[in-house]
C-alpha cells in the first residue's frame, strides 16, 4: 500500500483522512469532486482514500439522519437494564430486534445495558418497556428515563480540533 492509505485498520488516521471523515460525517452525500475540493486533494486521491477508509472499517456506511418526530416517534426514553448472569451479547442482540429499540449499549458500573427507545405515544412506549423489554428472559430490572429534549453535540468525526496526533 502507498503512504496515503495505511495498511492496517488500527493505524492512526492522517490529517487528510480525518478531514475526509469529518466532511462525510457532515454530509454523506458529498460528491467525490466536492470532497476532493474541500480536503485539497485530487478526485482520484479522494476516491482512493474513501475506499481505503471503507475497507479499513473506519467508514461503516452512509445514511440519512432522521428526525424521530417527523416520522411519528414522538416520545423517547433511555431504559437502564440489569440482566441476570447470562451472556449480555445474547440479550443485547435480542433487545436490538425489538420494535422501537433504536440503540443498545453495554455499559460499566451497576447497570448492564442502556437502550434508546422511541415510540409514537406513551402507551406504545410503556408496552415496549413493560411487555417487550422488562419481561424478556434474562432481564432482572429496568428503569426508564424520558428524554425531554436533545441538543446535538459534535460527532466524533467532526472533532478535529481535539484529536491528538
What pLDDT, on a 0 to 100 scale, did the predictor assign at position 96? Answer: 96
Q: What is the residue-averaged pLDDT of the chain?
A: 88
Q: What residue has cell string 440482566?
A: 83
pTM of the entire structure?
A: 0.74
Give the pLDDT mean for 102-118.
94
Instruction: Categorize the per-residue pLDDT at 87 as very low, low, confident or very high, splitting at 50, 70 and 90.
Output: confident
Three-class SS state of 145: strand
What pLDDT, on a 0 to 100 scale, did the predictor assign at position 3? Answer: 39
End-to-end CA separation in angstroms for the chain: 21
Alpha helix stretches (DSSP H) within the chain: 15-26, 32-39, 43-56, 88-96, 122-127
Residue 85 has pLDDT above 60, yes or no: yes
Instruction: Categorize the per-residue pLDDT at 100 as very low, low, confident or very high, splitting at 50, 70 and 90.
Output: very high
**Lowest model confidence (mean pLDDT) among 36-45, 80-89, 95-104, 117-126:** 80-89
Amino acid at each position: 500500500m502507498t503512504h496515503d492509505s495505511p495498511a492496517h485498520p488500527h493505524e492512526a488516521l492522517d490529517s487528510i483522512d480525518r478531514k475526509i471523515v469529518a466532511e462525510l460525517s457532515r454530509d454523506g452525500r458529498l460528491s467525490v469532486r466536492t470532497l476532493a475540493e474541500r480536503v485539497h486533494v485530487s478526485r482520484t486521491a479522494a476516491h482512493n482514500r474513501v475506499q481505503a477508509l471503507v475497507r479499513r472499517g473506519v467508514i461503516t456506511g452512509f445514511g440519512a439522519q432522521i428526525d424521530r418526530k417527523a416520522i411519528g416517534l414522538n416520545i423517547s426514553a433511555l431504559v437502564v437494564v440489569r440482566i441476570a448472569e447470562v451472556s449480555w451479547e445474547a440479550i443485547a442482540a435480542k433487545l436490538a430486534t425489538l420494535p422501537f429499540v433504536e440503540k443498545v449499549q453495554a455499559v460499566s458500573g451497576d447497570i448492564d445495558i442502556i437502550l434508546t427507545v422511541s415510540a409514537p405515544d406513551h402507551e406504545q412506549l410503556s408496552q415496549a418497556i413493560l411487555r417487550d423489554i422488562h419481561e424478556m428472559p434474562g432481564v432482572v430490572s429496568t428503569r426508564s428515563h424520558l428524554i425531554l429534549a436533545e441538543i446535538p453535540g459534535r460527532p466524533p468525526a467532526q472533532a478535529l480540533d481535539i484529536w491528538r496526533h
